[in-house]
Structures are given as structure tokens and as C-alpha cells.
Chain A
Amino acid sequence: MVFTSHIFLFYFLPFVLLFYYLLPKGRNLFLLVVSYIFYGWEEPWFVLLMFLATLVNFICGLFISRPGATHTERHIALVSSIIASLSLLGFFKYFVFMQNNLNSLLSLFGQEAFPVFLVSLPIGISFYTFQSLSYTIDLYRGDARPVSSFTDFACYVALFPQLIAGPIVRYSTIADQLIQREHRIDAFSSGVVLFILGFSKKILLANPMGEIADPVFAAQSPTTLDAWFGVVAYAFQIYFDFSAYSDMAIGLGRMFGFEFLQNFNAPYLADSMTDFWRRWHISLSTFLRDYLYIPLGGNRKGNLRTYFNLAIVMLLGGLWHGASWVFVVWGAYHGIWLAFERWRGKESIYHSLPHCLRILLTFIVVLISWVLFRSTDLLQAGLYLKSMAGMNGSSGGSVLLSAELYNPAHLLPFMASMILSFQPVQAFELAKSLSWWKLVLVSTLFVISVLSLIVQTFNPFLYYQF
């Protein structure tokens, strides 16, 4: 189910809120059941898969936290949890990719390719696998207390507000809230504000930006102007799409008494790539830092090892986004930039320039990475980058793109996206307090967004595919 769908907004959410607050107890069980309905709405059998992943990690958690368990037993339980979770993720997300690569390799040696066994990708598997793993790892490290009830743990893994596209909520963040949480009127209204702001960002900004980016990235050979227009629109689309989901998730969480951490902090105001990763998908970058970078040695094993660790973490981070070489190269590109900036003492190569120029140059570096992220393969990415550099020579029907792109329905949200991307006030901050002017603002935005939703065609969130 999609947050910006008719069924979610007008049926699922109101009824879940109604029954949740009518229930005197058993609210976690209720949230678990409705979360499974939410998740199973697209493909019902995927719920079984999530249940299985939850059960395995819960049992591993029991072994890790069993009183009197030896170090070896705890270690085996942790390794089992990691192997089981990553095998599940590996099979559903990377098996087809591996088969295709093996076939390519075979064809290089003149061997016949074998038929590819297709596997459908369960939505949100990357998110809930990481969340489940955070429980067993935190437990093993002694950073979290064992959960006493399977329902609570399953509720944490499946919690519908952040289930499909994050933010990645660690068990330790909401462990106490699962047992006891406050339902305050101000927290609820702050959740409403965040939900509305996220909803508006998605409907009024991200979707129109997708209408610009999609035809440009699908074009044969766009002109230089169109290529830049397309990739900037995509940068706005992915930011407003993904941060909108996070805002709505955090907002919904607050409506049910949960408090999740901020996931975006004006990423396009970053003045270096190191700064960018402090502001973009914060829950993923901190997860990778704590569960991969630091266990690999972090910066404690010398400079060369630090650069290698950074590169490998980002490369795997890229692969986490999708089973495709474009994501691997995207991750490597970011890894190399981060390692390079680390070598310069966490400073960008353009550190000596004025602040606004540093922001602009960082944005351009990020734009190049978005070309990789959005392209279907490396060849297309290469051609697109050539178009941006004016080296691809627009040909054929691509000349006609301008008729599709440059119209008021696109230019107005483009300008609004640009203004909002490069200003520091974030929805997360706005929602901390409520005044009458904010009430009028968010109410108006909500009405406009709901009206716009009525005429928009179905448009799921970009991060659903990860």
C-alpha cells in the first residue's frame, strides 16, 4: 500500500487510527496485524516471508540473550542470524543479477547461457532485513535488551509507517517505546504536520519532477539543456520523494506514539560529499557506519585501510540499493569521493571557494551520481553524461522533448523545488511546534495536495524498489 494512495489515506489510515485509540490494550498486536495487511496489500504471500525473517531473528535473539549462554553459543546465534537474513536478501534481491552476470561471463568464453530463474523482489526487503539484523547485533554487543514478547518484536519489524522505505529504525531506538509509549496531543498534531508536509512534498513536488525526469531519461539523446533540466529534476524528485516518505513515516509514528530519528537534513545544502552523507538518508549512513565501517576497522587501522573501508562501505551501500552495476558504480563513486575528502582531512577539493560555490559544486557532484542512479545501465549513464557535456549531439525525436518539458505545470513545481531544496528549514524542524499560521499553512497544503491527488495517476515511491 502506498501512503499517497486513495485507499491508504481515506480508508486504511482513518480506520487504523480509530480502532487503535479505541483499544484499551493489545495495541502492538493490533499494529502488527494492520502492518501485515499494509505490507501484504501488494502481494499477500510476501507477508509469510517477512514473518519467517522475523521468527528466525527472534529465535537467534533468544539464544544470544539466553542466561548462561557461552560466548561461542552467542556467536553462533549471531552468525546464524546474519547468514539467514543476508541469504534471504541475497536470494530475493541478487539471485537474478548473479545469474545474468554468470551468463555474461559464460558467453565471454563462448559457453551457452543457462535459463535465468526469475525471482520477484519483495518490497521493502532491504529495510526490514537491516532492521531485524540491528536487533541481533545490538543484542550481541550488549547495546539492547532482549525483547520479551514475539508480538513486540514482530511489531517492530513490520511497523507499517517505516516498513517499506525507511527510515531504518534500530531496535534500540524504539525498544522502550514498544513496551510503553506516551500518546500526547501535541505529539499527535506534530505527527499530523509532518505527515501533511511529507504528503504535499510527494504530491506537489516529487511527482511533477518525475514527469520531467522520466521522459528525459527515456529519450534517445537529449539536448544539453534538456539533459541538465532532467537530471536536476530527478535530483529534486528523489529528494522530495524519499524525504517525503520519511516525513510521513515519522509523522505516522508520532500519531501512534513512536518517535523515529530524522532521516534528511537539507542534503543539497551540503558543501562537501562528506557533509552530504551526514544529511542524506541519515539512518542508512549511520547504520553502515555502525554495523559495517566500524567493524571493518573504521579509521583505527591507518590511512590506507580507512580509505579502503570507506570505499567498500559505500560500494556495498550502492549494492544495497539495487542489484545492478549502476548502483555498484554509484556506490563506488561516492566511496571514492569520501575517501578522497578523508585524505584531504574531511575537506572537499574546492574547500577554498566561497560557501555558496562549494554548495553548487557539491550539488553538481551529486547530480553526476544521480545520472548513474537513474540510468537503466552503464551504457545509458555514459550517453546521458555525454549529453550533459554537450558531446552526444541531440538527434531524432529527442528534439521534440521541449514540448513535453517546458510548460507551467512543470516549471512552477521545478522553481518551488529549487527554492525549497536550497533553504535550511526542514519539515522535521517545522513540526516541532504549532502556531496558527502553521495550522493555516499545513491545512491549505493538505487540501491542495488531496485535490491534486485526485487527478494524478498512480505513482509509487522511488524507494519502494529498494
Chain B
Amino acid sequence: MQKDRVTHFTLILFFLALIFVDAASLFTMQLLQNQTPTIFDVVTQPPSQQNLRRFENDLEDSSWLVQQLRPFVQSVRFSMLNDLGKKAVRGLDGWLFYDLDVRYLTERIDKSDAAEEEVVHSILSFRRRLSERGIQLLLVPAPGKPTIYPEELTRRATGMKAPINPWTRKIISRLESEGIQCIDLFTLFTSQKNDPQASLNPTYLIQDTHWSTHGMILAASSVASRLIDLGWTSRGTTDYIQKSISMSRLGDVLKMSKVPGIESVFKPEIVKAAQILHAADRKPYADDPASDILVLGDSFLRIYERDEPGSAGFVSHLACCLKKPLASIINDGGASTLVRQELYRKPDLLKGKKVVIWEFVERDLRFGTEGWQDIPLPEDPAKL
């Protein structure tokens, strides 16, 4: 009987210690640091749904226990289960994919889904508003990595033709039938992959969501050719030169996993980039807000351009092809709506523009941050 009581007591004490430890540790540490304990926030604000959610999130974010243990648990899950977290999908031979890119391809899109109308309406409306100011629009939908390399995700997809998601094709066809000019990177990248000579140089990074420098340069050249063919712009007179740079890059899919020490397991990729420099002074390429071309887009524009090595991304290479500097607005993950909201707040950027190039990644058709809102253009500075 006595032995039973000891067992009961031991379990209860262990249980109580574990459920009390988090609140006790946070409370003590905040008092020691002369901070008001977060727990008191619950009585200092009205109990609205919003305030309660914020309070709950604050408690979890400031939890000492969570902060200390999360990296450890992530490490253990990775070493025992090969788990890179919810945002990463492991492919074959070291290829990594972003979960949303994969979901965009696998998930069913209901026929009644209003998303298609929202996307088409938003783009047509943007084109109409630009046309009213005499500005042309060129769309550059960037394929998701699994669309081009499905066989690197699973062997089942070997021989599968891209693009897999018919929804992307349907939306692009609808837009093209409305007279919108679109760059077809799907066909371009797929033909590159199928070309035996070019196939050794993938158009996407192995550990990253984004295109490789090879894919990016192909896209920039394709856009430049189309602009010239359409007669929407002409080549300028600025001379640029290219400087080869080799760098090691840890893919964003690995960074998103937040597994401590992941770089010791996955060796960073060696990336060969070409930095664009002004021929005259050898200074790296820089945007010119007064350019007649404005480029809008997401992290596909940011990569190599605004992060390492800089001035070696899509915008710089497009400028190099067109021999003139460009203006750009880049918003990571926000090409569907946020980038146009940013444009709305910068009326001067549309001054003197003849062309807007709008890049967005394929998955944003469905998962775009803030959806596809109809955003007005800023007031025409000339009319102010």
C-alpha cells in the first residue's frame, strides 16, 4: 500500500513539475530582469478574440522552455526521422522542394473556386490601368521547381511532361486570349532540361526554391528578346561587363527547416554567378528609377540581385541584355498583391514608364500572400 502511494506521488509530482516549469521559469526570469511578467497581459487588455490570440502567442514566443528545446527537438527529429520540418519536401539525390510548390501541384482546385476569377480579374484590371497611361504589361510567370523537375521529387514522375498543373496553363491561356503578353518559361525550361547538352546545368538550384543562375539568365534573355521583338523598347547605350563569381550557397529550403547545424549535413551548393558591372567604372549595376522599364516581382528577382553576390540577378541581367538600367520593386513572396501595393505608395516610379514587367511564381496563383487584390495605380504625377 505504502509502495503504491509512493508511485502515485512520484507520478503526480513529476506531472505537476513539468506543467508548472514553463510558467515558473518565465515568471522568475522576467521578474529578475525587471520586466512585467507576460502573464499579467491577460488582465490588462479587454478579452477580445484578437487580444487573447496575441496573449497566447506572446506567451509561447517568450517561453524559455520552448526557445531552449525547439532547436534540440528539431535536431533529434532530423537525425532520427530525416525530418526537415513542414516547409521542406525531400526529393531524390539531395534535391529539396518547398512544400507550397508541391502542394500547388498535388491539391485539387474546386471548379467553383473563385480564385481563378480573382487572379484573371486582378491582372486584367492592372493591365487596363497601365494601358490608360500608355504603359505596356509583360507577364513572367516563373514555374515552380517541381513543375520542371517532378522526377527529382519522386521516381513515379519520371517521364512526366511539365507543366503538371493544368490550372496554370488555363489561366495563362485566358490571359493570352485577352491580349496579355506572357513569357512561357515552362516550355523554355522544359526544353532546356530535355536537351542532352544543357541538362547537366539545371535551371533550378538543388537545395533552393529558386532558379539557378543558368535558369535566371535564360529567363532574362527571353524577356529581353520579347521586348525587342514587340517593339516596346529598344536597346540602350549603356555598356555592361560581366564578372564571374563563384560562391557557396545554402538553399532557402534548408534555412527554412531551422535545423541547427544543417549545413554540416547538406553541403552548400557551389553557384557560379555573373555579376553585372558598368563597363565605364566597374561599379556593380544599380537601378535607375527614371528608366522606361519597371520590373515587379518576388524572391526570384531578389536572388543573386539583392543577396549574395549582388547585381547578378534577373534585373541586372535583363538590364545587361537591354543595355540600359531598369527600375524595380521586389517583395519576397508578395508578387501577387504586395508588390502592387508598394507601387501604389511610390507614384514617382511610374513616371516616364513604357513597360512594366511583372514576375510572379506559379504557386502564387493560388497561395499568393494577400491573394490577388485589385490595386489601383498611384495618381499620375503629371496630373498632380
Contacts and interface: CB of A to CB of B under 8 A. Distances in A.
A189 B11 contact: yes
Contacts of B52: 41, 44
Interface residues of A, number: 55
The number of chain B residues touching the other chain, given as a range, is 35 or more
B118 to A, nearest CB: 20
Contact of B105 (A5, A380, A397, A452): A397
A407 B83 contact: yes
B108 A219 contact: yes
Contacts of A186: 4, 8
A446 B154 contact: no
Interface string B42-69: 0000011100100010011001011001
Contacts of A11: 22-23, 39, 59
Interface string A430-460: 0000111001001100110011101101000
A426 interface: no
A222 to B, nearest CB: 9
A44 B73 contact: no
Interface string B143-184: 000100010011011001000111000000000000000000
Contacts of A114: none
B83 A220 contact: no
Contacts, number: 160
Interface in A169-188: 185-186, 188
B267 to A, nearest CB: 22
Contacts of B153: 400, 403
A10 B12 CA distance: 15
A398 interface: yes
Contacts of A446: 14-15, 18
A6 B60 contact: yes
B82 A408 contact: yes
A409 B12 contact: no
A9 B19 CA distance: 6
A338 B230 CA distance: 70
Contact of A185 (B5, B69, B160): B5
Given A442-B11, A446-B18, A397 B106 contact: yes
A14 B86 CA distance: 30
Interface of A: 5-7, 9-11, 13-15, 17, 40-44, 185-186, 188-189, 192-193, 196, 215, 218-221, 380, 396-404, 407-409, 412, 434-436, 439, 442-443, 446-447, 450-452, 454-455, 457
19 contacts: A6-B59, A6-B63, A10-B21, A11-B23, A14-B16, A189-B12, A193-B11, A219-B107, A220-B107, A396-B164, A397-B146, A400-B106, A435-B7, A439-B11, A443-B14, A454-B70, A454-B73, A455-B70, A455-B77
